[in-house]
Structure 1
Amino acid sequence: MSRIGRKEILIPHNIKVSINENKIFVKGNKGQLSYKFSKLIEIEIKNNIIKLTKTKKTQEAQAIHGLSRSIVNNMIQGISEGFEKKLVIEGVGYRSQIEGKSLILNMGYSHPVKIEPPENINIKVENNTNIIISGINKETVGQIAATIKSVRPPEPYKGKGIRYENEIVKRKVGKAGK
């Protein structure tokens, strides 16, 4: 079994954490996040340290214990440092651009694909082929990156498409000529 839920979370000095019934609020200079946790979990704050404990000893409580700890830790890390995902576009004629706040992708389709980011997500484009997605919520940053990648995932023969920066695309051997 995982013991992630037992780990304590240190609160940086520039972040304020408050608990109201079953909701935890994290506020800092980058923004504010909240999370409604289960009644199977108790959260207590002492001396800039957050500790999560289970109220029952069930398998569901154990699973939610580790999940809640990870979510609260990601909230604090997001408010203090932020999260970032980088995507790379490979292929002749494939490019991206920013128009207002929305991202426009020209990926070889008969029409450009327009993606509207949520309010706390910033998208930057460098060299028309590098996309940087940043924000304070790890879940939404990853979801937007996955949505952008799903427009044209990398294909295994030439490697064309959208991939994460350090992602390795396994290549297949093409047809053998006679």
Structure 2
Amino acid sequence: MSRIGKKPVELPSGVSASLSGQTIEVKGPKGTQSFTATDDVTITIEDNTVTVMPRGKSKRARQQWGMSRTMVANLVHGVTEVFKKELEIQGVGYRAQVQGNTLKLNLGYSHDVDFAIPEGIKIACPKPTEIIIEGQDKQVVGEVAANIRDWRRPEPYKGKGIRYKGEYIFQKEGKKK
């Protein structure tokens, strides 16, 4: 039994959900999002709750059960609040700034890195060494944060690079004479 899948997803006030086939569409104050579940699970909407149940006892049905419930919960969270990832930049001369629909990164390369901000994502730089990524879709926010971080991952000797806020980088000891 899936511990996560068993829990019903509560719909807060101001949020409505509609089901057509295997596609659930959730509308809220921040917008509309939808998710299409596989045929291995059954989604039902009763009162102000959405429940997900597996259609059989197969391994795939049990795998999809918890994942589908989490996807529905993320839809409900995304239309009421925004998902947020924060990145920190460490290194001498490393900085970021938003210009229009692009994020300009100075990361020690011979050129600036221009990162095009995708549709539905808001990026802010309150400080030159801080990047805040916000959006409705948890998967897209995480993917954008990972793509930005890939431009200069934190290195283990000095810790320079782009890291998630609060991320611990294990420091290695350098060469000894």
Given the two structures, how large is their TM-score scaled by the length of structure 2? 0.97
Corresponding residue number in structure 2 for 1:84: 84
Deviation of 1:2 (Å):
3.6
Aligned match of 2:143: 143
Q: Which amino acid aligns with 1:57?
A: K
What residue number does 1:25 align with?
Answer: 25
Q: Which runs of 5+ in 1 are unaligned?
A: none
Aligned to 1:56: 56
- Corresponding residue number in structure 2 for 1:15: 15
**Which string of whole-angstrom CA distances, capped at 9 and with x for unpartnered residues, describes residues 84-123 of structure 1?**
0000000001011111021110101111111112211100
Cα deviation code 1:45-75 (max 9, x no counterpart):
1110111111111000000011100111011
* Counterpart-to-counterpart distance in 1, 2:57 and 2:133: 39
Question: Which AA in structure 1 matches 2:116?
Answer: E
List gaps (5 residues or longer) in structure 2.
none
Q: Structure 2 CA distance, aligned partners of 1:171 and 1:24?
A: 46
Aligned twin of 2:127? 127
Q: CA RMSD, aligned part only? A: 0.9
Give the Å deviation of 1:3. 2.0
Count of residue correspondences: 177
- 1:25 is aligned with what amino acid? E
Which runs of 4 or more aligned residues in structure 1 lie more than 6 Å from their structure 2 counterparts after TM superposition? none
